[in-house]
Amino acid sequence: MEPNPPSQTLETPDCQSESPEDQQQQPLELTKTLPIASISLSLSSFLSPQLLLSSPKKPSLSPFSHLKIPSQISSLSHLSLSSTSPKSSSKAYTPSRIANSPLQSPSPLLRHRPADPSHSAAGRRCTVVWFRADLRVHDNEALSAASNDSLSLLPVYLFDPRDYGKSSSGFDKTGPYRATFLLQSVADLRRGLRARGSDLVVRIGRPETVLVELARAVGADAVYAHREVSHDEVRAEERVAKAMEEEGVEVKYFWGSTLYHMDDLPFELEQMPSNYGGFREKVRGVAVRKTIEALDQIKGLPSRGDVDTGEIPSLVDLGLKPVPTMSQDGKPVLNASLVGGEIEALERLKKFADESRAQPKKGDGTRDSIYGANFSCKISPWLAIGCLSPRFMYEELKKTATRAISASSTPKTGAAADNGMNWLMFELLWRDFFRFITKKYSSTTKKIEAAPATACTGALV
């Protein structure tokens, strides 16, 4: 699960996010009392920094270099994996502007704004898409909406210096293992965008400064992004909104990091129960929105400004020291095989679904559940930084469970598959609970006395 809320840095925007167009929804209801478990989202203990972008896990001609995500709930085994290699950008790339000193942003761009900055959403000249913890092409409302609304897009990812370095307690704000995983995920996102006719601009710098410079350079009309929940992330959203308001640029935030959409909750966020049991009862029967289809083609970069896409930084650029891949006793670092990125996340999910279908029957006709102690280290790192959408994961594994139940010859076998799906839903609900409770205490304008968010009180129904 996500880290415990109010005791950590919390954050949420002052207003709720824009909701997408009405979409077909799928009902969801948990009917069984299940043991409590949580998805760990920590990345600091299992990644090897050697798995860097200079030597990606898959070559550019890999059959997974162009992934088509289905819009319907489909079997993962039928995902379309084209062998077409990614297209190279038509722009001429200049050397990186990353300074020698760690965490120094590139040279600022020329400060100028277009003479006619106002355009309707249906006819925007250019939109900046600010990627955050949504490093994927599938089920990405901000990216899809921007592509539909605009003539050109400028996708951007920023390494904010405030997310690195030491905390007041002396610990790394972002450790080298998590940073390595993040760097790999950003590189994979860039490859995915290039394969669809776009690209990703990468910078080291503060969003409220760099985004303004980029918007000026290309004459952008708007900035589209997903909202986050922690204190620092919410403050960043507020600073960007204020800076863009002064520039006459619209900022539009979306919601896409949870199974349930924020706008579909049957209560105001300020009235959210502080215990999991109460939250679960409130959302019982709420429908899960349908995922948004990944675009085959994305609007290209703007011709104005001739913005350098930049290079993806190294750990040293982020002020971190690479760590060895082998432990002192000569053994590989635990879970060093985990690689960041959307392609890897979808492969993991497909493998997980295949394993769940292939579980052998026991003597009584039931199956051992694969949803066990090792589940979190299989999927949660990619959920944490948005390489995988929780709604897409839900749709695909629900389809797997449905096939298992329909193929069952006995009620017990079907019940076992149903129990496995409910176990998964229990985990995703816990994840939603912690994200929403974090947002509750980080987004309210008036101070709310923080009651302890408990796992036990009312957790079992």
Q: What is the pLDDT of residues 162-184, one digit of tens each?
A: 999 988 898 999 999 899 999 99
Q: Which of the following CATH numbers is that of domain 25-324+333-443: 3.30.365.10, 3.30.450.40, 3.40.50.620, 3.90.1170.50?
A: 3.40.50.620
Say which residue, 54 or 147, is predicted with more confidence. Answer: 147
DSSP assignment of 308-368 equals: ---PPP-TTTTT-----SB-TTSPBPTTTT---SHHHHHHHHHHHHHHHHTPPB-TTS-B-
What is the model's pLDDT at position 397? 85
* CA separation, residue 207 to residues 112, 156, 415, 438 (Å): 18, 10, 49, 22
Say which residue, 296 or 118, is predicted with more confidence. Answer: 296
Cα Rg of the chain, angstroms: 22
What is the model's pLDDT at position 330? 64
What is the average pLDDT across 231-257?
96
What is the model's pLDDT at position 356? 72
Span 326-345, pLDDT tens digits: 666 666 666 567 899 999 99
Q: State the pLDDT confidence band at 158, using cuts at 50, 70 and 90.
A: very high
* pLDDT above 90 (res 188): yes
What is the average pLDDT across 52-70?
41
DSSP summary character for residue 8: S
For all residues of the chain together, what is the average pLDDT? 73
* CA separation, residue 112 to residues 103, 107, 122, 247, 252 (Å): 25, 15, 24, 10, 22
SS3 152: strand
Q: Is 324 exposed, middle or buried (0-12, 13-18, 19+ CB in 10 A)?
A: exposed
Residue spans of the domains in the chain: they are 25-324+333-443
What is the average pLDDT across 348-360?
79
Q: Which residues are annotated as a binding site for FAD?
A: 376-380, 427-434
What is the distance between the alpha carbons of residues 424 and 196, in angstroms, rounded to a whole number? 32
Q: Is the CB of residue 423 less than 8 Å from the CB of residue 239?
A: no
Q: Which residues are annotated as a binding site?
A: 376-380, 427-434
* pLDDT above 70 (res 404): no
Q: State the pLDDT confidence band at 33, using cuts at 50, 70 and 90.
A: very low
Q: State the pLDDT confidence band at 354, using cuts at 50, 70 and 90.
A: confident
- Contacts for 116 with CB less than 8 Å, ≥ 6 apart: none
What is the model's pLDDT at position 331? 67
